[in-house]
Amino acid sequence: MRIAFIGLGNMGGGMAANLAKAGHRVDAFDLADAARERARVAGCVPHTSIATAVAEAEVVVTMLPDGKIVRAVYERDVLEWVPAGALLIDCSTIDVASARAVADLAAAKAHPMVDAPVSGGIAAANAGTLTFMVGGDDAAFAAAEPILAAMGKAVIHAGGAGAGQAAKICNNMLLGASMVATAEAFAMAEKLGLDLQTFYDISSKASGQCWSMTSYCPVPGVGPVTPADNAYQGGFATALMLKDLRLAMAAAADTGANVPMGKRAEELYAAFAEAGNAALDFSAIIGTLRE
């Protein structure tokens, strides 16, 4: 198919490359020259404007930093220039309200659209092993599924417009809180004189077990290899976890949801980021608890 891809950053660069590898023609646009050049090397056709990138697109995929940018890109450019009936897929992580507003604009012009945020970081984007959580009607989901499958290992229909973003922020709020809880359990085990590998061996087989412990252990040398074993470089940056927690807090405020653990995780990650740790993997927060 002819696919326009907008936003070729850490995530979008690898995703666009995987669409080209799957045999699609990928017309690629990013504001950054280096991102466009990387896309060209990966087999995409680089463009210097959204207008030319989407001009003959059957599908448009966006992977952009935030809701404000996503709204502007669709309102000002994509919906202005894209052919009638083209499928629109936004993979960015943004607030539910913006996702629904853009879906309404697309619907007004009779474009099928899905919000399809991802779970999995840069390595999964490059490897084509992302998990997509998709919001949109059944027809739009059916059209988007094979495109998303070329970039991921799982494509899950979460519900109507905005439901993908809703699933993503609820999941990441749970992840933020569970990482803090895992980190504080290890930090207290240490203060109580427990060997941390021994605590892992016990808790990973007991009721405290969770993904933050057994797949992403924040303690170096314990459990599988994780960013903790690489001085907390790579992985999922604290800045991105904080972004997702802030989206979750905005959604909680909008809906009146009671989220005391999510709120505390947001406060702890905000303080951790402000102390100069925004680029570190989010599991590095254990350092503040082991002090």
State yes or no: is 205 an active-site residue: no
DSSP string, the chain: -EEEEE--STTHHHHHHHHHHTT-EEEEE-SSHHHHHHHHHTT-EE-SSHHHHHTT-SEEEE--S-HHHHHHIIIIIIHHHSPTT-EEEE-S---HHHHHHHHHHHHHTT--EEE--EES-HHHHHHT-EEEEEES-HHHHHHHHHHHHTTEEEEEEEESTTHHHHHHHHHHHHHHHHHHHHHHHHHHHHHTT--HHHHHHHHTTSTT--HHHHTT-SSTTSSS--GGGGTT-SSSBHHHHHHHHHHHHHHHHHHT---HHHHHHHHHHHHHIIIIITTSBGGGGHHHHH-
Residue 90 interacting with ligand NAD (CB under 6 A): no
What's the min distance (Å) between Cβ of 14 and ligand NAD? 9
End-to-end CA distance of the chain: give it in Å, rounded: 54
- The single residue listed with the structure tokens 């056709």 is 45
Choosing from 3, 4, 9, 176, the residue that interacts with ligand NAD (CB under 6 A) is: 9
Rounded to whole angstroms, the Cα distance separating 113 from 136 reads 6
Residue 171 interacts with ligand NAD (CB under 6 A): yes or no: no
Size of the site for ligand NAD (CB under 6 A): 25
Smallest distance from the beta carbon of 76 to ligand NAD, in angstroms? 9
Establish if 16 lies at the interface with ligand NAD (CB under 6 A).
Answer: no
Residue nearest to ligand NAD (CB): 9
Give the interface segment with ligand NAD, choosing from 118-126, 151-159, 206-214, 272-280 (CB under 6 A).
118-126
For position 28 contacting ligand NAD by CB under 6 A, the verdict is: no
Looking at the Cβ atoms of 63 and 113, the one nearer to ligand NAD is: 63
**Exactly one of 153, 168, 205, 263 is catalytic; which is it?**
168
| Span near ligand NAD by CB under 6 A; candidates 65-73, 216-224, 225-233, 253-261 | 65-73
Nearer of residues 33 and 195 to ligand NAD, judged by Cβ? 33
Q: Between 121 and 164, name the residue whose CB sits nearer to ligand NAD.
A: 121
Residue 30, interface with ligand NAD (CB under 6 A)? yes
Minimum distance of ligand NAD from residue 3's CB (angstroms): 15
Nearer to ligand NAD, 118 or 163 (CB): 118
Q: Which residues are catalytic?
A: 168
Q: Which residues make up the interface to ligand NAD (CB under 6 A)?
A: 6-12, 29-32, 35, 63-65, 69, 73, 92-93, 118, 121-122, 236, 240, 243
